[in-house]
Structure 1
Amino acid sequence: MSEPTLGAQLAAFAVRSAKDGVPADVAASVHQRTLDVLGLCVAAHRLPTSAAAIAHVLDQGGHEQATIVGSPTRVTAAQAAFANGVLAHSLDYDDTHLPSVLHPSASVVPAALAAAEHAGASGELTVRAIAVGLEVAVRLGMAGYDQELGNSVFFEHGQHATSITGAMGSAVAAALAYGLDEQGVLDALGLTASMASGIIEANRTGGTVKRLHCGLAAQAGVNAAQLVRRGFTGPPTVLEGRFGFFQAWLHGQFFPDAVTDGLGSDWSVPGIFFKPYPANHFTHTTVDAGRAFRERGITPDQVAKVVVGVAGSTVRTIGEPIEVKRTPETGYQAQFSGPFAFATGLLGGGGLGAALDDYSDALATDPARRELMAKVDVVADERCNEIYPFQFPAVVTLTTTTGEVLVEEVLTNRGGPARPLSDEELATKFSDNVTGRLSDTAAAAVRRDVLDLQGAGDVARVLSPLAAPLAAPLAAMSTLIPAEESK
Structure 2
Amino acid sequence: MTTDHAQTDIPLTRQLVQHARAKEATADDLAMAALFVLDAVANALGGCASEQGRKLLRWAGNGPSRPGTPFDTGSHALLMGALTHILETDDLHRASVVHPGCVVVPAAWVMALREGASGPAFLRSVLEGFEVTTRVGMGVGPAHYRIWHNTATCGPYGSAMAAATLLGLDEDQTVHALGNAGSQSSGLWEFLDTGAMTKHLHAGHAAQAGVQSADLAALGFTGPPRILEGERGFFAATCPDGDVSQVMSDLDGPWQLALTSMKPWPSCRHTHPAIDASLELSQTLQHASADEFHSVTVETYQAAQDVCDRPLAESEYEAKFSLQHCIATALENGEVTLASFDDAARVKARRLASGITIKVADPYASAYPVDWGSAVEVVMTDGSTHRAERGFAKGDPEAPLLPPQVVDKSLGLMEFGGIAAPRQLAEAILALPMAEALPDLPLFT
TM more than 0.5: yes
Match status 1:399 vs 2:376: no
> Which residue of 430, 454, 461 maps to 2:433?
454
Answer with 277-286 or 298-307: which moved more. Answer: 298-307
Q: Give the equivalent residue in structure 2 for 1:415.
A: 395
Q: Secondary structure at the match of 2:39?
A: helix
**Alignment-derived partner of residue 472 in structure 1:** none
Other-structure match for 1:142: 138
Aligned to 1:340: 325
Instruction: Find out whether 1:231 has 2:220 as its counterpart.
Output: yes
CA RMSD, 1 decimal:
2.6
Q: CA offsets, 1:59-80, max 9 Å, x none?
A: 9xxxxxxxxxxx9987322111
Mapping 1:26-175, distance limit 5 Å:
26-58=29-61, 75-145=71-141, 151=142, 153-156=143-146, 158-175=147-164
Q: SS at the partner of 2:411? A: helix
The equivalent residue for 2:3 is none
Q: Name the CA distance, whole Å, in 2 between partners of 1:373 and 1:198.
A: 29
Question: Aligned residue for 1:261?
Answer: 249
Amino acid at match of 1:339: Q
Give distance in 2, aligned partners of 1:393 and 1:210.
24
8 Å CA contact 1:44, 1:50 repeated in 2: yes
1:331 maps to 316
TM-score (norm. length: structure 1) = 0.82
C-alpha spacing 1:284/1:196, structure 2 compared with 1 (3 Å): same
Q: Which amino acid aligns with 2:382?
A: T
CA deviations on 1:340-383 (whole Å, 9 max, x unpaired) are 2223223446xxx42212211111112xx344435533333333
Q: Describe the shift of the 1:189–1:338 C-alpha distance in structure 2 as closer, same or farther (beyond 3 A).
A: closer
Residue identity matched to 2:156: A
Which among 2, 8, 13 is matched to residue 7 of structure 1?
A: 13
Q: Is the CA contact (8 Å cut-off) linking 1:384 and 1:392 kept in structure 2? A: yes
- The count of aligned residue pairs is 434
- The Cα offsets for residues 135-193 of structure 1, whole Å up to 9 and x where unpaired, read as 10011111212xxxxx2x4224x222211210111001000011111122112112212
Whether contact under 8 Å (1:72, 1:467) holds in the other structure is no
Query: How much does 1:40 deviate?
Result: 1.0
**Matching residue of 2:359:** 379
Task: Work out whether residues 300 and 372 of structure 1, in 8 Å CA contact, stay in contact via their aligned partners in 2.
Answer: no
Q: Secondary structure at the match of 2:379?
A: strand
Q: What is the percentage of aligned positions where both structures have the same residue? A: 30
CA contact (8 A) 1:446 1:465 kept: no
51 and 465 in structure 1: CA distance in 2 versus 1, 3 angstrom threshold: closer
Find the partner of 2:210 among 221, 241, 249. 221
- Structure-2 separation of matches of 1:115 and 1:385: 40
CA distance in 2, matches of 1:155, 1:436: 32
Whether the aligned pair in 1 keeps the contact of 2:106 and 2:207 (CA below 8 Å) is yes
TM-score (norm 2): 0.89
- Distance in 2 (CA, whole Å) between partners of 1:2 and 1:338 is 42
Q: Cα distance, 1:265 vs. partner?
A: 4.5
Give the Å deviation of 1:428: 2.1
Distance 1:210 1:294, change over 3 A: closer
- Whether the aligned pair in 1 keeps the contact of 2:103 and 2:155 (CA below 8 Å) is yes
Q: Aligned equivalents of 1:11 and 1:110: distance in 2?
A: 20
Alpha-carbon distance in 1 for matches of 2:313, 2:244: 42
Contact in 2 for aligned 1:329/1:365 (Cα 8 Å) = no
- Shift in CA distance, 163/370, structure 1 to aligned 2, threshold 3 Å: closer
* Alignment check: 8 A CA contact 2:282 2:288 kept: no
Amino acid across the alignment from 1:160: H
* Maintained 8 Å contact 1:319/1:377: no
1:306 and 1:396 in contact (8 A); partners too: yes
Contact 1:286 1:396 in 2 (8 A): yes
In 2, the alpha carbon distance for the partners of 1:246 and 1:257 equals 11
The gaps in structure 2 that reach 5 residues or longer are: 1-6
> Which ranges in structure 1 are unaligned for 5 or more consecutive residues?
60-70, 146-150, 469-487
